[in-house]
Amino acid sequence: MSKNAPAFASGNLAVITGGASGIGLALAKKSAGYGMTVIIVDNNSQNLAAAKTSIDGKVETIVMDVSKIEDYERLKYKIIKDFGGKINLLALNAGTGPRGSWSDAAYFNTIMSVNLFGVINGLTTLLPLVTSAATSSESNATSIIITGSKQGITNPPGNPAYNASKSAVKTLAEHLSFDLAKSSPSTSVHLLIPGWTFTGLSGNDPTGEKREKPAGAWSAEQVVDFLEEKMREKSFYVLCPDNEVSEETDRKRIAWAAQDLIQGRPPLTRWRDEYKAEAEEWMAKQKI
């Protein structure tokens, strides 16, 4: 069995936003399983209470709104005061996905405040605590996980604010990885790009009525296992398949979307009636 990624080590500190359900909760459980101390951040106190009782180990929960920089400042102060001021694993995972119309300013503001500024606020306040915990020794390497989305890459129609927020998160993560490669080379950055995952955003409420996972979806635990494998491989892009869509299919869809710009086609041709057949035929022929 391959050794675990360096950040997953007994005695280390993990800080996970959106950690009370879904992928965040699965990551919290994995971290605690390695003997790490885990700080779970979420805006849902009921889910946080349920999460804490479901995890064996050193777990602290904090009710927080990631869209508010002052909440992050309080979290930073607590980590410095109570946990030595060093973070070994930072997962900026909190997200929201409401739908709205082009005339609905609240829809855009809500999504951008959580999905985009929830990441920006986390980096501007907590990044120094991650890089200061890293040393030149691989055993003391630190990691930052930022949860993106395939919707931020292939940009399917239907939820423009969500797609835009995740596209921006991808850009931030790419720049962070580039910059830290020079300024803090022992801090790895990973853009987690889940496939269809049965989480709170997709109908799996941890404190609500239990529902059966759809056959085509992955569980949050499968996503986190795949993430850990890719972290061991030092991969930046963690492009997750699911039980319906393979990694190869995802790569073909990404390549087709890029060709819209390269060839001067209209945007989102994969979903336009006049291009659908051509897109399917092109992707069927590709070997990527």
Q: How far is CA 250 from the centre of its chain?
A: 17
**Backbone CA torsion sign across 219, 58, 45, 161:** negative
pLDDT for the residue 208: 59
DSSP run (H or E) holding 162: helix 160-183
Residues 6+ apart with CB under 8 A from 259: 265
pLDDT for the residue 253: 98
The SS3 of residue 139 is helix
Give the closest residue to 19 by CA, choosing from 48, 46, 57, 55.
Answer: 48
pLDDT for the residue 135: 77
The SS3 of residue 38 is strand
Give the closest residue to 18 by CA, choosing from 84, 83, 70, 90.
Answer: 90
pLDDT for the residue 28: 98
DSSP run (H or E) holding 47: helix 45-54
Helices (H), 233-275: 247-262
Outline where DSSP puts E strands in the chain: 13-17, 37-42, 59-63, 89-92, 142-147, 187-193, 197-198, 218-219, 237-239
Cβ neighbours of 68 (radius 10 Å): 15
Mean pLDDT by groups of 10 residues along the chain of 288 residues: 79 98 98 98 97 97 98 98 97 97 98 98 98 79 97 97 98 98 96 91 59 92 97 97 96 98 98 98 95
Residues β-bridged to residue 42: 63
pLDDT for the residue 213: 87
| Residues 249-266: b if buried by 16+ CB within 10 A, e if exposed | ebebbeebbeebeeeeee
β-strand pairing of 218-219 with 197-198: parallel
CA distance 89 to 271: 38
**If you ran DSSP here, which 8-state letter would residue 267 be given?**
T
pLDDT for the residue 1: 39
pLDDT for the residue 4: 76
pTM comes to 0.94
SS3 content of the chain, % helix, strand, coil (to 5): 50, 15, 40
